[in-house]
Amino acid sequence: MARKKQPEKKMIINPSEVNAYIAGAGTVQEQPITETLETNYMPYTMSVIVSRAIPEIDGFKPSHRKLLYTMYQMGLLSGARIKSANIAGQTMQLNPHGDAAIYDTMVRMSEGYGALLHPYVDSKGNFGKAYSRDMQAAASRYTEAKLTLIAAELFRDIDKETVDMVDNYDATKKEPVLLPVTFPTVLVNANIGIAVGMASSICPFNLQEVCETTIAYLRDENHNIADTLIAPDFPGGGLLLYNREDLEKIYATGRGGVKVRAVYAYDASANCIDITQIPPTATVEVIIEKVIDLVKQKKIQEINDIRDETGLNGLKITIDLKRGADPDRLMQKLFKMTQLEDTFSCNFNVLIAGAPRVMGVSELLSEWTAFRIECIKRRVYFNLQKAKSRLHLLRGLSKILLDIDKAIKIVRETEEDSEVVPNLMIGFGIDQIQAEFVAEIKLRHLNKEYILNRLKDIENLEKEIAEQEGILSSRTRVKNIIIDELKQVIKKYAQPRRTVIYHPKAEDFAPIRAEVPDYPVTLFFTKEGYFKKITPQSLRMSAEQKLKEGDALLLIEESSNKKELLFFTDQCQVYKSRASDFSDTKASVLGDYIPTALQFDSGEKAVYMAVTEDYSGYMVFIFENGKAAKVEMKAYETKTNRKKLLKAYSGKSPLVAAFYLPEDRELLLTASSGRMLLFHTGAIAAKSTKDTQGVQVMTLKKSHRVIEARLFEEGMLAKPHRHRIRSLPAAGSMPAAEEAGDQLSL
């Protein structure tokens, strides 16, 4: 009979009881931000700096070192390639960060990816390309890999205790703290990392140049680095704009930048440019997108088409030119406007004894030399101990030679196995280690010939021990060993420079101005801030302008597409633009809303537009307090392409009107009292300071202000002489009866 299911008992928790049970529950405790940073954030920061992002003196970050050492342990220095997924899985025993992160590390160090001058991973399959953003590596289950030949230089004598070995994260395996590299890998292959509050960016150098520089430095610590280390050498090639002063600064301080330019060729038969090498900081997709954007903005007019023709033969960007276009001039423009010429920023930040240090090349070589000397000494000491141990055994064996029969007799007559070694020690006066060695010799080897052959090694071992001890006691001999190894590395792995040294000419630094097509246009500017640029042909088809309800035209000017435009705002600022920056439009559209097109500040409105070409003439500002400011137009001209200028005019009094005057002329002011004043701007001195308050032109009684200012035209007033004055300031005069009517009509 089935038992009846008992209903579940629900536990009712009283919040007051919980708060009483957990001390401090529900209370807010104040904690200084410095304490929070120190206890919570600093451990993370140090972990990123020390264990992730900054390379050490052997040229590797922990993730690189763990991967390469795993491949070495798997025997991948020789033999066939194996699946990348297998390597990534094995590496997780040392690097528990997931197979995706490990595989990405392998991809960057592979031959197929092409990010290193001397790759450490021999790859098969699609590993992507360093010069492409969109060309990604295939999944790890499809690709295969092993170590390249040069990777043998990373592990030479690693089994001879040349470097310290530590436990992995779960203490099941040992891994090296550093790799005993035989050449300065930290300078040969590029290494970039972003930590917390600091970064590292080490540019690559040609292997032969680095080794020759290291040899010269070992022989003379005052060696001038720039004499042998010519310049960085990037895997993707390119032209390096050589500047000895900049390079010497990088070599001395570890900071600076080098400019790298793309390599191109002009195909006259197809009228196209083929770009085959690009800077290391650029990608094909970014360059193409930027060029397309420049064409859309009409900053580049010579291009018909651009496409990516990268294939089995390598990188290739093809640009089809319009008829008559100058390819060299176009490329000079593209160098200035795109990443076809870019700067590689250097920051030689390396972990030394667990602490990050920014060092010049001499300091780096000094630290690497000290590290390598220590590796050589540890290797020599290991070999010395092995030789001494072998010599000790052979000397014990030499005593057996005196009476082999006695040795056999001792072994045969000893009743207990544990007594064999002690009896041999007593019989021949040898120690336990020697006796153990003799006891383990096979019976067939207890003959005179075998023992004599072994004893021949004693003389060689004594010479070897003397040689090893001599090396340990001489720093010069250790340096000579390092020099010999560096020469062997040059002989085996040196390759020609990929990046060509280019000595720039004066025209390379000349500013390139985009060719703007020049044609007549009519410019319209409205009170609400709308702008139109209309060609005469379009204007003839429809002259009726579409305006927003309540809007009105402030300016209509026949001009050209090359003119510059200055938009003055109600916040005493001016925004600069060009007519060519705006598209041709029609009378039937509202046009471009200037505050949006030029990205005005929030709530800012355009109040006046000035059109100029050579910045001749003046800007005249009329203020409510009766003052007028005359500013030279040259004050708004800038050498750089600045789009916004602050303090374009004075803000001490509200602005009534602004005028751009190529030459002086008369202005008519009207005050709230009804008085009118006609004066010539030539009577005002021009200022070069944009926000000058100006001079008093019209004297006003209290509570009155200037309400209108206009350019004076003949016929505007019936009796203009009544309002003209001889000296400033003046109060002006009331309009005549016939003028009053005109004013009312206005």
* Span between the terminal Cα atoms of the chain, in Å: 109
> Residue 687, class by beta-carbon neighbours within 10 Å (0-12 exposed, 13-18 middle, 19+ buried)?
middle
Helix runs in 74-108, H state only = 84-91, 99-108
How, if at all, do strands 239-241 and 500-502 pair? parallel
Is residue 593 part of the annotated active site? The answer reads: no
DSSP code of 50? I
Residue identified by tokens 């000079």 is 332
Alpha carbons 624 and 305: distance in angstroms, whole number:
56
CA distances from 132 to 93, 265, 307, 311, 377 (A): 32, 20, 14, 12, 45
For the beta sheet containing 82-83, the strands, ordered from the edge strand earlier in sequence to the opposite edge, are: 82-83, 144-147, 121-124
Contact 345, 257 (CB under 8 A): yes
Beta bridge partners of 165: 176
CA angle at 514 for the pair 513 and 517, rounded to the nearest 5°: 130
Instruction: Give 575-608 as a DSSP string.
Output: EEEEGGGS----TTS--EEHHHHTTPPTT--EEE
Give the single-character DSSP code of 169: T
Q: How far is CA 717 from CA 147, 658, 666, 676, 712, in A?
A: 94, 21, 13, 10, 9
Question: Which of 207, 204, 258 lies closest to 236, judged by CA?
Answer: 204
Which of 449, 448, 457, 427 lies closest to 439, judged by CA?
Answer: 427
Neighbours of 67 (CB within 10 A): 24
What's the rounded Cα separation, in Å, for the pair 106 and 131? 17
CA distances from 384 to 277, 378, 389, 390, 470 (A): 51, 10, 8, 10, 11
Interatomic CA distance for residues 335 and 342, integer angstroms: 8
| Own/partner long-range contacts of 37-41 (Cβ < 8 Å, ≥24 apart) | none
Tokens, residue 461: 């071992």
CA 534 – CA 546 distance, rounded (Å): 13
Compute how many other C-beta atoms are within 10 angstroms of the C-beta atom of residue 196.
Answer: 15
Which residue in 147, 152, 211 sits closest to 184, CA to CA?
211
Chain-centroid distance, C-alpha 150: 28
Rounded CA separation 644/621 (Å): 19
- HEC profile for 16-48? HHHHHHCCCCCCCCCCCHHHHHHHHHHHHHHHH
Q: Which amino acid would we find at residue 23?
A: A
3-class secondary-structure state, position 674: coil
* 250-286 residues labelled b (16+ CB within 10 A) or e (exposed): bbbbbebbbbbbbbbebeeeebbbebbbbbbebbbee
Which residue of the set 41, 142, 169, 519 is catalytic?
A: 142
Tracing tokens 């060299």 back to the chain, one arrives at: 328
Specify the 3-state DSSP secondary structure of 628.
strand
* DSSP three-state, residue 518: coil
Residue 704: count of CB within 10 angstroms of its CB: 17
For residue 576, give the nearest of 616, 603, 528, 609 by alpha carbon. 609
Q: What positions carry a catalytic annotation? A: 142
